[in-house]
Amino acid sequence: MGNPTIHVRFSRTDCRLCPSRDQCTRSQSDPRTLTFRPQTASITTQPP
């Protein structure tokens, strides 16, 4: 089924008035979203 991921979506009201919004997302209406791999998967894929 693919690799496990953790999805984070910020509140529309939190993002709407943020002065740094243009640095976080290109969307004009949707809030910022982030996708992470679980820490163990992230650590094992990093170079030594």
For residue 36, how far is the Cα from the chain centroid? 7
Q: Which segments of 1-48 are extended strands (E)?
A: 6-9, 33-36
The pLDDT assigned to 24 comes to 83
The set of long-range contacts for 1-6, using a CB threshold of 8 Å and a minimum separation of 24, is 3/37, 3/41, 4/37, 4/38, 4/41, 5/35, 5/36, 5/37, 5/38, 6/35, 6/36, 6/37, 6/38
The pLDDT assigned to 47 comes to 65
Ranges of each domain in the chain: 6-44
| pTM score of the predicted model | 0.53
pLDDT at 48: 62
On the question of pLDDT at 42 being above 70, the answer is no
Q: Which residues contact 39 (CB under 8 A, 6 or more apart)?
A: none
**pLDDT value at residue 29:** 85
Q: Is the pLDDT of residue 9 over 60?
A: yes
